[in-house]
Amino acid sequence: MAMNPKLLRPKASVAPFSPQAIAGLALWLDAADASSITLNGNGVSAWGDKSENGLSVIQPTALYQPQYTATIGGKPALLFGGAASPAFLGCEGGSFANETFFMVAARNNGSQEAYAALFAYRQSANTYLSSDADSEFVLNRGTVSDDALGFDPITSTPTLYTNGVNIPAGSVDGIATENSYSSSPFAVADAQSLLTIYSGTSIAGAKPFIIGADAYEPASRTYRATVGEILIYQNALSEAERQSVEAYLMSKWGIT
């Protein structure tokens, strides 16, 4: 009996999801892609942006370079060490409007320094290393517990998700509405976490940003964390788009 020809046809392959499939991708930093990492020994001197904007983050000073020695979910990630071994990366110009922000990170053991920040913009167009207290979009150490990460919106109250679950404003693990460092914290566990934020903040023009420290005093306000991937879209993603990005990141980095 002849074989059914349908059984002989190869199954159509499904292309893996790419963050570039969603319009508005403004920044894509992926530590799992070794080709995007420029090493100085184990130190990272540059982390290449995989979006079309080319907003690579750099650290020319060896003393402050994060280490390419950590992993998240079995994939390589960048280790930011805190004040004992400060490490941070910066970019002189990122222009984002109403951004939707995704970060895969794990908090490292040890106390966080006061005002330590994991990600920050500047309001001014000064260098990301200038000592001006004008942070626009900040993920910094929570004041209630240094086991948590606070969010300091300057111009808006954002919508926040941790590992794909919405964190309501006003809850203990919620979002601060005041424009200060006294933010309510949300959890960043020692295990890997996915943070999703729609900030609703529009930043006019190209502004510097920094990863791993507060731009006001970066050498003393660095955050102890391992970072695997950062995505920023310059628009509000739909619910379906947000869930697609979260599913991609959680599957890739072993987040449950």
The first and second tokens of residue 69, run together, are: 């020695």
Q: How far apart are CA 227 and CA 17, in angstroms?
A: 21
The tens place of each residue's pLDDT in the chain, 256 residues long, gives 566 665 556 655 667 899 999 999 989 999 999 999 999 999 999 999 999 988 889 999 999 999 998 899 899 999 998 656 888 888 876 666 667 888 888 877 666 777 777 887 765 555 444 444 444 455 655 444 444 455 554 445 567 677 787 766 544 343 333 333 333 344 444 455 777 776 655 544 556 788 888 777 778 778 888 899 999 888 888 899 999 999 999 999 988 7
Contact 156/136 with Cβ under 8 angstroms? no
Instruction: Please give the structure tokens belonging to residue 222.
Output: 């660095």
Class of domain 23-28+90-253: mainly beta
Would you say the pTM of this structure is higher than 0.85? no
Separation between Cα atoms, residue 102 and residue 100, nearest integer Å: 7
User: How far is it, in rounded angstroms, from Cα 178 to Cα 138?
Assistant: 13
Q: Cβ distance 119 to 209 under 8 Å?
A: yes
Q: What region, left, alpha or beta, does residue 231 occupy, with left being phi > 0 and alpha being psi -120 to 50 degrees?
A: beta
